[in-house]
Structure 1
Amino acid sequence: MALNYTLYHYDGSRNSVVITDMGGKELIIDCDKAETQVVFEEPNDAGILARLAREEPASYVSFAMRPGGLQDYVDVWNELN
């Protein structure tokens, strides 16, 4: 039985989420670039995505890879809070 895994972690020095597969290949999601189209109601709302990247990097990647995903996440977060 072959085990396949993927590791996700936040790299604060690059402000990026790094995805590493079993073979050691990396995919780097630059948070600054991923968030360029996101419109925040308040400037402090940028912390919503920073926290998501640090605490749940796999979820951050999931949202970042969808069209409008990060904006939708911020919008829902603002509605709930």
Structure 2
Amino acid sequence: MNNIYFAIYNPATDSIEIFAGEKLKIIFNCTRLNNNVYLENPLDIAYLHWLAREEPFNYIYFALQPDGLQEYVEAMNVFN
């Protein structure tokens, strides 16, 4: 059996859907995950929206780390 992993951002539900194998579907609600991030500038939410849309696996990777999304936003602010 081959495990095929596929992730896609669903803008209708603001969530990332991960398909693992034939029968397993995992859904991460981006709105709930983003609510845990403190934003100094409200426009910084664009970093998280871009990451979810363009790199859904990386978004989930950061979301599963303690303070991962927070640190991602802070790092993006350093570079921009």
List alignment gaps of at least 5 residues for structure 1: none
Structure 2 length as normaliser, TM-score?
Answer: 0.94
Local SS of the residue matching 1:3 = coil
List alignment gaps of at least 5 residues for structure 2: none
Partners of 1:65 and 1:5 lie apart in 2 by: 20
* Percent identity of equivalent pairs: 35
Name 2:76's counterpart in structure 1. 77
Q: What is the aligned residue count?
A: 80
Structure 1 length as normaliser, TM-score?
Answer: 0.93
1:1-81 matches, within 5 Å, as 2-81=1-80
CA RMSD of aligned residues (A): 0.9
Partners of 2:6 and 2:23 lie apart in 1 by: 10
Partners of 2:36 and 2:9 lie apart in 1 by: 21
The amino acid that maps onto 2:61 is S
